Amino acid sequence: MCGIVGIVGHSPVAPLLVEALKRLEYRGYDSAGIATVEHGELARRRAEGKLVNLQRKLDGEPLGGLIGIGHTRWATHGVPNETNAHPHFSDGVAIVHNGIIENFAELREELKKDGYSFTSQTDTEVVAHLVGRELAAGVPPVEAAHRALKRLEGAFALAIMFRGDEDLIVGARNGPPLAVGHGKGEMFLGSDAIALAPFTNSITYLEDGDWVVVRRNEFAIFDMEGNPVKRKRQQSLGTSFMVDKGNHRHFMEKEIHEQPEVIAHTLAHYLDFANGTSRPLDLPFDFAKLDRLTISACGTAYLAGLVSKYWFERLAKLPVDVDIASEFRYREVPLSTKSAAFFVSQSGETADTLASLRYCKAAGVPIGSIVNVRESTIARESDVTLPTLAGPEIGVASTKAFTCQLSVLASLAVRAAAARGAISSEEERAMVRSLSEAPRYAAQVLKLDGQIEKVARELAHYKHVLYLGRDTNYPLAMEGALKLKEISYIHAEGYAAGELKHGPIALIDEQMPVIVIAPHDRIFEKTVSNMQEVAARGGKIILITDTKGAARATVDTMETIVLPDMPEIIAPIVYALPIQLLAYYTAVFMGTDVDQPRNLAKSVTVE
Ligand code: M6R
């Protein structure tokens, strides 16, 4: 992960680097650092922890210079302290890196034998010394960087800067994203267009295997053999305003509350509410001719894919395989020539999801991506991009991106069902009408936050929580558990309610609340039986249901959160909100860092 930036500018560069890093903090926040060249000399400031610590350091010890590189870190090799913070130096060179150098151990040994000593535990420092060794042998900077790059295996986005040259940064990309930003008499490098948005929206994205020589008034891109390559320059949609929290305490809270609006925007993009139909899409395949759909994603996006399996199979009679991308990419899955593949990702940069996409692409399978960041690598490498219109999601815990992913997938399932003749036009109209009501129900559910806050106050006293659900509520149970563990650090598991008796029931006691997601649906009675099993063993139940379910659930609960009765197809979208609020308030009570929980990053560009 990590975010990197480079600026060859014409005004003091340190504040500009910090501004760009603020916009990259979603990629990691274990430590941060910048380096500049002033009067020919390299200098750096680094600080452990969030960017604010670096800012404080720079206030006390400012850095001059018109050229610089910066980094915000998500630790892979070495603990997140100042010594391991980037930029890393060797004699005459400074480097920032996002990714993992897989052959770093052997390179380290080789460099040690040559007399180089290491001050950090990072893999990045080998790159600095590789370049430094070439410079020491009299190789000019650009060639020195190229020679070093050719020695690297693994994933990297790099920015390299040199002592004595105030008009040169070398960038390179193999895996994690890197973009060149074009200014007037100034040039930029950044992990994404959002980082560069305050300076320019004229962007050239590097492709894997590219490296670039950036100077104030020119740039040149090469492949690893050193041949010049041309990449398209484009206008970025990246917004230059810094998203703020408005009146909310945390981005997560704001993003939860934005859901009625962004779900409405997203659904309106795919559904024609006036005519009661799904909108035609320019897809690289015909739903009617598919024998299979493959969906691959990570984390919350994977769980959105899992919910959609129920929709595609039930409504469109289309078999769906859903996989965690890190498993899919190496499993050597045989793919049908009559299949299509969907990849779901908020950031559009998740390394495992991208690798899965490339696997399917190589097999000739048509690719659709459901992404929130439209200029991301996953979007650019797909045959068709099916955007979620969630707007920037800043909180590390995914909330509005999830419900927007569900909105896209539900709309696609309806489209597929109509295309395959699995539903009549009357049924299609009814489903579109039901989906159009999701924003209204979501808004109603947000009004329950007082009650949910009260439940969370209680939940914050426990160390373990079990989430249960059946059907689409099973992936939702896993999402509830994921949300809770990632921001409150309470150990939580999500299980299919029917699976309880095959093992997890042994965990049930008074110390482990069981949250059951059970709207009054086709299998409600089965879930009630599972709740009885929990109650019989002294388990404390928190039931999330609807009016009908609350009236029919013949079991004592610690608390029942009652949502309005709603059409089945929108339940997974709307029921996501109470589980998000539950995690949010629990984390607030526990005093954790809600928007930037420990050990995590928003965009996961390493495998
Ligand atoms: O950007 P992506 O949607 O590809 O990210 C996938 C996961 O890393 C992400 O959903 C993660 O699980 C969230 N932090 C969960 O809230």
138 CB-near residues (< 8 Å, 6+ apart) = none
Q: How many Å lie between the centroid of ligand 1 and the Cα of residue 303?
A: 10
Query: Closest Cα to residue 395, out of 221, 229, 600?
Result: 600
Helix, strand, coil percentages, rounded to 5, for the chain: 40, 25, 40
Q: Could you tell me which CATH class the domain 447-589 is placed in?
A: alpha beta
Vertex 582: Cα angle to 580 and 584 (nearest 5): 70
Query: Closest Cα to residue 266, out of 102, 391, 428?
Result: 391
Task: Establish whether residue 353 lines the binding site of ligand 1, counting it when its CB lies within 6 angstroms of any ligand atom.
Answer: yes
pLDDT of amino acid 247: 81
Q: What torsion, rounded to 10 degrees, do the Cα atoms 447, 580, 247, 457 define? A: 80
The pair of three-digit structure tokens given for residue 316, joined into one six-digit string? 């469109």
Task: Establish whether residue 488 lines the binding site of ligand 1, counting it when its CB lies within 6 angstroms of any ligand atom.
Answer: no
| Whole-angstrom distance, CA of residue 294 vs CA of residue 405 | 16
Task: Establish whether residue 298 lines the binding site of ligand 1, counting it when its CB lies within 6 angstroms of any ligand atom.
Answer: yes
Q: Is residue 15 within 8 Å of residue 65, measured between CB atoms? A: no
Residue 150, classed as helix, strand or coil, is helix
CATH code reported for the domain at 245-436:
3.40.50.10490
pLDDT of amino acid 124: 94
pLDDT of amino acid 314: 98
Radius of gyration of the chain (CA): 26
| Sequence spans of domains, the chain | 3-240, 245-436, 447-589
Query: Which stretches of the chain score pLDDT less than 50?
Result: none
Query: Closest Cα to residue 178, out of 188, 168, 186?
Result: 188
Task: Establish whether residue 346 lines the binding site of ligand 1, counting it when its CB lies within 6 angstroms of any ligand atom.
Answer: yes
Please indicate whether the domains covering 245-436 and 447-589 agree at the CATH topology level.
Answer: yes
The pair of three-digit structure tokens given for residue 417, joined into one six-digit string? 């069902």
- The ligand 1 atom nearest the CA atom of 603: 1
Q: How many Å lie between the centroid of ligand 1 and the Cα of residue 602?
A: 7
Query: Closest Cα to residue 208, out of 419, 16, 357, 79?
Result: 357
Q: Is position 2 annotated as part of the catalytic site?
A: yes
| Whole-angstrom distance, CA of residue 307 vs CA of residue 474 | 8
| Whole-angstrom distance, CA of residue 490 vs CA of residue 587 | 9
pLDDT of amino acid 173: 96
Q: Is position 501 annotated as part of the catalytic site?
A: no
Q: Is residue 143 within 8 Å of residue 165, measured between CB atoms? A: no
Task: Write a three-state SS string for 266-328.
Answer: HHHHHEECCCCEECCCCCCCCHHHCCEEEEEECHHHHHHHHHHHHHHHHHHCCCEEEEEHHHH
- The ligand 1 atom nearest the CA atom of 298: 6
> Mutate which of 350, 386, 487 to test ligand 1's pocket (most atoms within 8 Å of Cβ)?
350
Give residue 374's identity as a one-letter amino acid code. R
Residues 3-240: name the CATH superfamily.
Aminohydrolase, N-terminal nucleophile (Ntn) domain (3.60.20.10)
Cα torsion 299, 172, 378, 355: sign: negative
- The ligand 1 atom nearest the CA atom of 299: 12
